[in-house]
A and B are shown apart, each in its own frame.
Chain A
Amino acid sequence: MSLQRKKFRYLGESLIEGNIKATASLAIVVIFLILFFILRESLPIFFNPEVQQEITFRHFFSGIQWQPVSDNPRFSLWPIILGSLKVTLIALLFAVPVAVAAALYSSEFAGGRLKELIKPGVELLAGIPSVVLGFFALVVMASFLKDLFGWQIRLNAINAGLALGFAVIPAIYSLAEDAINAVPKSFREAALGLGATPWQSATKVVLPAALPGVSAAVLFGMGRAVGETMVVLMAAGNAPLFSFNPLESTRTMTATIAAELGEVVFGSGHYHALFFIGLVLFAVTFAINLASHALFEGLMTRLYGARK
């Protein structure tokens, strides 16, 4: 190979390398641009006097009413923050036991054939568009639950939470399953060798050993649940009530943005308020992801010692 050709090859390779680097950093740049955009659109609440006549930061945390279209508009975030938390909690209470148990079963107990059926089955659930889940909850599940339990209000937080649970089960399942599978085989062999039954080995050895990954999966599912929009928009009834009762209908932050942004007067106080909700949501999901990472690292250190 002549020197000339070698040079060309290096040039070509560095070109390719540069391309890959650029593509990778593009993702980060885009995220920062989005954050910048949300910030820019919500900042007028703090600095623009014209907007401040309609709404200031104080409005978000005083009172308990979200009534943006009114002669006397009120922009309290409490009812919709509570709504998001309520629905997320219900979704997790339903989804976490189901998803973790399914993951434990399919990786520890299920035979080859069954295992090959469960995994794609759950992953198929992930392929259902959330609008379809929401529609199902709105039309079928709400009436069914209402008749079954004699609830007064069809579209309530439990209905939405269950539907949301279906949406996050696949995410939690597949992460939890990976974590459980990653537990070294020697752990199981040691447990069984000491006379533990398969059940004892699974619940007392494998699951605790996989705890870092499983709890990261749960928090990841929580992040998904907080950010999910279509399901709650359709199934929760969207009444901005400040109420802890799960049988009342409820409105989440995501549903508020989705429902109201389409028609809001561009540049009005209400418009900027919706972007501020977006900012709050961003902060919440970011915090959850951060917590998930910290928990994972912390538990790993506790279980397996500090990693070099």
Chain B
Amino acid sequence: MKLKTIIFWTSLALVAILTCSFVMAGKAITLKGSDTLLLLGQRWAELYMQKNPGVVIQVTGGGSGVGIAALINGSTDICQASRSMKDSEKKKLRERYFNLGTEIPVAKDGVTIYINEKNPIEEMTLDQIRDIYTGKTTNWFQLGGPDAKIIVYGRENSSGTYVFFREAALKNADYTSSMQSLPGTAAVVNAVAKDRFGIGYGGAAYAKGVKEVAIKTAQGSFRPNAETVKSGQYPLARDLYWYVRGKPSGEIKKLIDWALSPEGQQVVAKVGYFTVK
């Protein structure tokens, strides 16, 4: 009985101390949003906290939409987004804070088209990709491949990649209803790696065990790499953003400046994305 009481009070005290220390370290900078940027945000946070003891950075995912909503609600300092803000979201931000916030491109991502390694096709034009994803082209034969049905894989409509791909590759046309939407890029890569006649899309960093298709444009054909993404030759590239309310200042500004510095951008390359500078 006595022992239990002691345990009870000790644990209560512990909890109290822990809570207090969190409250005292309340200067934590919070980053929330895109799952695409989650890994990058965490790496940045780790390195930055090592270099600047006393600064606490918390990084969470949830998706670009969730992050933007959190920015509007005021529950995050920085929103990570893999798409730019929609007009309706900008409107809400302006209604609450009387400014449009600041958009900072922090990295670039090339959306890669994956096909199975056994598929003989090497390159496609944007129009061919568009026809596959809108359901006009349904057989690999039409692209000079084997006579087999194209199994189309994509992401859920909640994903920033889904929205970006729809804008950049489909020119805002609708995806075909027979596209299988999988939860996460890793699932898409896995499905294409196992499915001889599959096709999928996602971040360049994830392409393991699948073939990256080169995209044929008027200038030639390009695979996504640091050069072609930076120069804009690879057509399916996008900016990844940080959003803050108003103008960045104080600790937040320091963090942003560091992320854009050569040191911060080195992390970008290490994680598998492309630098903005």
Report which A residues bind B (CB closer than 8 A): 65-72, 79, 138-139, 142-143, 152-155, 233-234, 237-242, 248-249, 251, 259-266, 268
A259 near B183 with CB under 8 A, answer yes
B183 near A233 with CB under 8 A, answer yes
Give Cα A154 to B156, complex, Å: 18
In order of increasing CB-CB distance, the 9 nearest A-B pairs are A263-B158, A237-B180, A263-B65, A263-B63, A69-B157, A259-B156, A238-B181, A249-B180, A239-B180
Q: Give the contact-size bracket for chain B.
A: 20 to 34
**A143 — nearest CB in chain B belongs to which residue?**
B194
Give Cα A68 to B65, complex, Å: 15
B65 near A262 with CB under 8 A, answer yes
A241 near B178 with CB under 8 A, answer yes
B174 near A154 with CB under 8 A, answer no
| Contact residue among A69, A79, A234 (Cβ-Cβ distance under 8 Å from B166) | A69
| Contact residue among A72, A238, A262, A265 (Cβ-Cβ distance under 8 Å from B182) | A238
| Contact residue among A70, A79, A234, A265 (Cβ-Cβ distance under 8 Å from B89) | A265
A67 near B194 with CB under 8 A, answer no
A241 near B177 with CB under 8 A, answer yes
**B182: shortest Cβ distance to chain A, in Å?**
7
The answer to whether B48 has its CB under 8 Å from any CB of chain A is no
Contact partners of B162 in chain A: CB under 8 A: 69
| Contact residue among B62, B177, B181 (Cβ-Cβ distance under 8 Å from A79) | B177
Give Cα A219 to B65, complex, Å: 38
| Given A138-B187, A153-B151, A233-B183; A263-B178 close (CB under 8 Å) | no
Question: What does DSSP make chain A's interface, helix, strand, loop or mixed?
Answer: loop
| Given A69-B162, A69-B163, A152-B149; A264-B65 close (CB under 8 Å) | yes
Give Cα A70 to B174, complex, Å: 6
Contact partners of B195 in chain A: CB under 8 A: 154
Contact partners of A237 in chain B: CB under 8 A: 180-182
A71 near B172 with CB under 8 A, answer yes
Chain B, 165-178, contact with A by CB distance < 8 Å: what is the 0/1 string?
01000001011011
| Given A67-B174, A139-B190, A152-B151; A262-B158 close (CB under 8 Å) | yes
A263 near B172 with CB under 8 A, answer no
Chain B, 52-85, contact with A by CB distance < 8 Å: what is the 0/1 string?
0000000000111110010000000000000000
**B73 — nearest CB in chain A belongs to which residue?**
A266
A265 near B183 with CB under 8 A, answer no
The answer to whether B267 has its CB under 8 Å from any CB of chain A is no
| Contact residue among A68, A79, A153 (Cβ-Cβ distance under 8 Å from B157) | A68
Contact partners of B180 in chain A: CB under 8 A: 153, 155, 237-239, 249
**A59: shortest Cβ distance to chain B, in Å?**
16
A260 near B156 with CB under 8 A, answer yes
A248 near B190 with CB under 8 A, answer no
Give Cα A264 to B182, complex, Å: 17
Contact partners of B86 in chain A: CB under 8 A: 265
Contact partners of B5 in chain A: CB under 8 A: none
Contact partners of B62 in chain A: CB under 8 A: 262
Contact partners of B63 in chain A: CB under 8 A: 262-263
Contact partners of B166 in chain A: CB under 8 A: 69
**A229: shortest Cβ distance to chain B, in Å?**
11
| Contact residue among A143, A154, A260, A264 (Cβ-Cβ distance under 8 Å from B151) | A154
| Given A67-B174, A71-B172; A265-B156 close (CB under 8 Å) | no
The answer to whether B88 has its CB under 8 Å from any CB of chain A is yes
Contact partners of A69 in chain B: CB under 8 A: 157, 162-163, 166
| Contact residue among B65, B160, B172, B177 (Cβ-Cβ distance under 8 Å from A239) | B177
Contact partners of B183 in chain A: CB under 8 A: 233-234, 259
- Contacts A67-B177, A259-B183 aside, 9 further interface pairs with beta carbons under 8 A come to A71-B174, A143-B194, A154-B151, A154-B194, A155-B182, A239-B178, A241-B178, A262-B158, A263-B65
| Given A154-B194, A237-B180, A260-B158; A266-B174 close (CB under 8 Å) | no
Contact partners of A142 in chain B: CB under 8 A: 194
Give Cα A240 to B157, complex, Å: 12
Give Cα A198 to B195, complex, Å: 49
B187 near A65 with CB under 8 A, answer no
Contact partners of B190 in chain A: CB under 8 A: 138-139
**A66: shortest Cβ distance to chain B, in Å?**
8
Contact partners of A268 in chain B: CB under 8 A: 88
The answer to whether B252 has its CB under 8 Å from any CB of chain A is no
The answer to whether B226 has its CB under 8 Å from any CB of chain A is no
| Given A152-B149, A154-B194; A263-B177 close (CB under 8 Å) | no
**B159 — nearest CB in chain A belongs to which residue?**
A263
Contact partners of B157 in chain A: CB under 8 A: 68-69, 259-260, 263
Task: List, sorted by A's number, 15 A–B pairs whose CB atoms are closer than 8 Å.
Answer: A71-B174, A152-B149, A153-B180, A154-B194, A154-B195, A237-B181, A237-B182, A238-B156, A238-B182, A242-B177, A259-B157, A263-B158, A263-B160, A265-B86, A265-B88
**B89 — nearest CB in chain A belongs to which residue?**
A265
Contact partners of A233 in chain B: CB under 8 A: 183
Contact partners of A249 in chain B: CB under 8 A: 178, 180
Contact partners of B179 in chain A: CB under 8 A: 239
**A301: shortest Cβ distance to chain B, in Å?**
47
Contact partners of B159 in chain A: CB under 8 A: 263
**B187: shortest Cβ distance to chain A, in Å?**
7
Contact partners of A79 in chain B: CB under 8 A: 177
Residue of B175, B180, B183, B187 with most chain A CB atoms under a 10 A cut-off: B180
